[in-house]
């Protein structure tokens, strides 16, 4: 009882440190409850995009299991916040869930490749990100039909951008100078700053409404329904705007990372 009362007054960081030292399973249960909000936040935030392949409860259950394992694997000496450590793994869990559940029909995959090809060809020809109208005309579609097709590829665009950035992160050399703070490593720190500077530049080139949707969704944690109310448009339209913005960012970041 004394331990329980003492733990209630401790911060998450202090509790985590004590658990790593003691391995107390009761303390682990408390930590899982304390950090479960991270799992719920990811599941609820991504519901508008990922609903086509998984229920929120499925994501939460998988996330809790991941959280329990992460508490044991986390290394305090790395000077990385546990929230940062586990959030990246939760995103990876979502990607794995999507792959396992065969979430994207073959016809949608095919259409995404066609959109990517059209976008790439126009990007090379125009020297800038093409407009929706230009891509639609290039594909022989009306702009309305193009927007409908684009909305179907929303999840694929989000996942592929995540995987692209993760792949970029994995390219960072694993051997570092003997410093305790990973962010203090000159080369890694420079590469991260360079990557985020490029991403920021790419976002600044998006249309105003696309930037607003990304800001509300990723920074303010608004749901698609809430964003629709702010913009005065339908939920499907917000999904289209979101998908379009992510696709443009993916094209821009591919060009930056691979030079193509």
Give yes or no for a contact between 115 and 139, defined as CB atoms under 8 angstroms apart: yes
Structural domain of 135: 106-258
pLDDT at 69: 92
Running along the chain, 260 residues long, what does each successive block of 10 average in pLDDT? 75 90 90 88 62 63 90 87 85 68 65 82 82 89 82 61 53 39 52 76 88 83 83 82 82 69
Taking the CA atoms of residue 48, residue 224, residue 110 and residue 200 in that order, the dihedral angle to the nearest 10 degrees is: -110
pTM comes to: 0.48
CATH number reported for the structural domain that contains residue 250 in this entry: 1.20.140.160
252 with 160, same domain: the answer is yes
Domain boundary among 100, 123, 157: 100
Domain boundary among 67, 100, 133: 100
pLDDT at 115: 84
- Report residue 35 as tokens: 């950090």
Taking the CA atoms of residue 27, residue 82, residue 211 and residue 127 in that order, the dihedral angle to the nearest 10 degrees is: -150
56 by Cβ neighbours in 10 Å (0-12 / 13-18 / 19+) ranks as middle
120 with 230, same domain: the answer is yes
CATH number reported for the structural domain that contains residue 13 in this entry: 1.10.1740.10
Residue 128 to residue 58: CA distance in whole angstroms: 40
Residue 254 to residue 198: CA distance in whole angstroms: 11
251 with 148, same domain: the answer is yes
Domain boundary among 100, 124, 140: 100
167 with 223, same domain: the answer is yes
């Amino acid at each position: 009882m004394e331990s329980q009362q003492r733990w209630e007054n401790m911060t998450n960081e202090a509790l985590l440190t004590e658990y790593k030292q003691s391995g107390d399973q009761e303390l682990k249960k408390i930590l899982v409850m304390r950090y479960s909000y991270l799992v719920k936040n990811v599941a609820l935030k991504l519901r508008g995009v990922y609903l086509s392949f998984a229920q929120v409860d499925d994501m939460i259950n998988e996330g809790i299991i991941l959280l329990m394992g992460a508490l044991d694997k986390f290394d305090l000496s790395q000077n990385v916040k546990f929230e940062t450590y586990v959030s990246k793994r939760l995103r990876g869990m979502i990607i794995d869930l999507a792959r396992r559940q065969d979430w994207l029909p073959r016809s949608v995959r095919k259409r995404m490749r066609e959109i990517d090809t059209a976008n790439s060809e126009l990007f090379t020809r125009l020297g800038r990100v093409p407009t929706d109208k230009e891509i639609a005309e290039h594909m022989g579609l009306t702009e309305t039909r193009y927007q409908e097709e684009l909305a179907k590829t929303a999840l694929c665009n989000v996942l592929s951008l995540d995987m692209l950035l993760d792949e970029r992160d994995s390219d960072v050399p694993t051997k570092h100078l003997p410093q305790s703070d990973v962010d203090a490593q000159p080369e890694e720190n420079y590469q991260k700053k360079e990557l985020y500077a490029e991403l920021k530049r790419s976002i600044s080139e998006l249309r105003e409404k696309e930037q607003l949707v990304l800001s509300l969704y990723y920074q303010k944690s608004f749901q698609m329904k809430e964003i629709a109310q702010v913009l005065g448009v339908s939920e499907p339209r917000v999904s289209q705007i979101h998908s379009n913005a992510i696709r443009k960012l993916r094209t821009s970041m591919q060009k930056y990372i691979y030079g193509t």
